[in-house]
Amino acid sequence: MDGQPVGSSAGGEQPKFTVSIERAGEVLNVLVKFSPPIDSIEGRRWADLLVCEQIALQLVQEKGVPAVKTALLESEGRVFLEVVRFDRVRRFGRLPMISLRAIDNEFYGRQDNWVAAAKRMEADNRMSRDDARNLRWLSVFGDLIANTDQHFCNISLAGEAGHYSLLPAYDMLPMFYRPMDGAAPVNTFRPPVFSTSAAGEWDSALGAAIVFWERAGEDLRVSQDFRQICRANLEIVRDLEAGPRLVE
């Protein structure tokens, strides 16, 4: 852990550890993400991003899309994000899961984007209409909160016999701002062009993204510098409300 910044690898893995904890008489199996020491540039930025991840996942839940439960802690000069695992139950139980990457490799070999994957799987009756809609929603919301890490290992599914259900969302945060080479980028966020295949999810995801940047810009757990970035992004995303509308 010492001195190693949390980053995104080609497979999307970030340094973390697993632990079982007992809270309010209940055993929880959690993954714990952690920042480097927050007195460093990388550490402060990763701490900000972990706070943003908690805000984003809470918003996903509020919009009716399943997402993991989280808890944020600060100790020993680091920030820790506990993520309750959906592939474990009680002390030793395991539940099945498989990545979207594995499913896509098995049936399609595309690994292009979540919206296209949802369309393919719904058309082939490998995913329900509701789950396909939720996956599209997550993609649009992620685009609007600067989540540039939407690879196929960041979506998990459960199922068999060729039909799969979407498991709770995780790893939803503005990775556009992850620290790199010892620096914390302050680049201007430019929302990407959206697919008309997700037109039905646009309004809801846009509304959630506006609330995300509002909350992140006001949360005192976030550094002043990053709160300023969040407030600037709030105006950028708000401007989209007055722009051309996507029509199904």
Helix (H, G, I), strand (E, B) or coil at 223: coil
Residue of 48, 104, 143, 149 marked catalytic: 149
21, 73 contact by CB (below 8 A) = no
3, 78 contact by CB (below 8 A) = no
Count of C-beta atoms within a 10 Å radius of residue 120: 17
Q: Which helix (H) or strand (E) holds 215?
A: helix 202-218
- CA pair distance 66, 86, nearest whole angstrom: 11
Assess whether 181 carries a catalytic annotation: no
237, 209 contact by CB (below 8 A) = yes
Residues classed as catalytic: 149
